Amino acid sequence: MVTDKRPLSPHLQIYKPQLTSVLSITHRATGVALAIGTLLLVYWLVSAAAGEEAYHHAQIVLGSMLGQFFLFLWTWALFYHLSNGIRHLFWDAGYGFDLETAYRSGRWVIWTPVILTMLVWIVVAG
Amino acid sequence: MSLRTPLSRARGLGSAKEGTHHWWMQRVTAVALIPLSLWFVITLMTVVGEEHAKVVAWIAHPFNAVLLIAFLFATFYHASLGLQVVIEDYLHEEATKIGLLLFMKFAMVLLGAFAILAVLRIAIGGAHV
């Protein structure tokens, strides 16, 4: 049922973005991106099951610039969704709701995924 | 005064007859995915770029195959619950919403089945290794 004309909250054009709201929508965005990214995971597994030739082809596709770019984004998205997901689980259990803690945990879930993503790619490249 | 029967109140399932099942399963799969996704990324790092035979041997190892299937099941279950909420939140035209919900649910089941079948073929089905 479409019921326009009703006020929207938050009204995106006048709503000032805050750390908490930006992290919240990023959680959704990374969730959707990861769900679409499962296509890569399925492609990789099916290629491995299909045989050596198919797997070799998959390695070329995933090893290409574009493939590596998406895998890099996927790594970050996974670590972000994982870190912020743990933050959400603490909230679900009733902890960390006060403003100061919410902002402190928010800063943690900005940096943790960046550090973990770099760590993974440095180890893989090294 | 509530018109609900005492039985209905005690069950606490609400008008959708689901209660907190969706919310709860999203948390259960989320908790499962904490160790599973960390395990997946860490072990994936050890086989990435390796030749086919080594990757297949890694997947075929019973311990890895079981954890992979658990990871895949939890991933597609969690993704299906999450995408459902996103679609329900942002699509308000009933036909589009139901159409996209059905497409998404079918896609998640099929992708999960493809992935799990691939692991099973390698682990027990005698895929060309």
Q: Please give the domain boundaries of chain B with CATH numbers for all domains.
A: 21-123 (1.20.1300.10)
pLDDT at residue B70 in the model: 98
Share of chain A above pLDDT 90, in %: 83
* Average pLDDT of chain A to the nearest whole number: 92
Per residue in B86-112, pLDDT (tens digit) is 999 999 899 999 999 999 999 999 999
CB-nearest partner of B52 from A56, A78, A92: A56
Residue A11 lies in a domain: no
Check A45 against B59: CB less than 8 A apart: yes
Give how far B10 is from chain A: nearest CA, Å. 23
pLDDT band at A7 (very low <50, low <70, confident <90, very high): low
Q: Which residue has the higher pLDDT, B126 or A75?
A: A75
Task: Check pLDDT > 60 for residue B128.
Answer: no
Residue A8 lies in a domain: no
Check A124 against B45: CB less than 8 A apart: yes
Check A45 against B118: CB less than 8 A apart: yes
Per residue in A46-77, pLDDT (tens digit) is 999 999 999 999 999 999 999 999 999 999 99
Residue A112 lies in a domain: yes
User: What ipTM goes with this model?
Assistant: 0.89
List the one residue out of B113, B60, B52, B61 whose CA is nearest residue A54: B52
Question: Are the C-beta atoms of residues B81 and B26 closer than 8 Å to each other?
Answer: yes
Assign B111 to helix, strand or coil.
helix
Task: Check pLDDT > 80 for residue A91.
Answer: yes
CATH label of the domain that carries residue A119 = 1.20.1300.10
Assign B126 to helix, strand or coil.
coil
Q: Is B100 on the interface with A (CB under 8 A)?
A: no
Residue A41 lies in a domain: yes
Contact residues for B2 (Cβ-Cβ < 8 A; gap 6+): B9
pLDDT at residue B4 in the model: 84
pLDDT at residue A4 in the model: 67
- The count of domains in chain A is 1
pTM score above 0.80: yes
Question: Are the C-beta atoms of residues B30 and A89 closer than 8 Å to each other?
Answer: yes
Angle subtended at Cα A92 by Cα A12 and Cα B41, rounded to the nearest 5 degrees: 85
Per residue in B27-54, pLDDT (tens digit) is 999 999 999 999 999 999 999 889 999 9
Separation between Cα atoms, residue B44 and residue A23, nearest integer Å: 28
Q: What's the token pair of residue B17? A: 């007859």
Q: Is B69 left (phi over 0), alpha (psi -120 to 50) or beta?
A: alpha
pLDDT band at B13 (very low <50, low <70, confident <90, very high): confident
Give the range of the structural domain holding residue A82, as residue numbers without chain letter: 19-125
Separation between Cα atoms, residue B24 and residue B112, nearest integer Å: 21
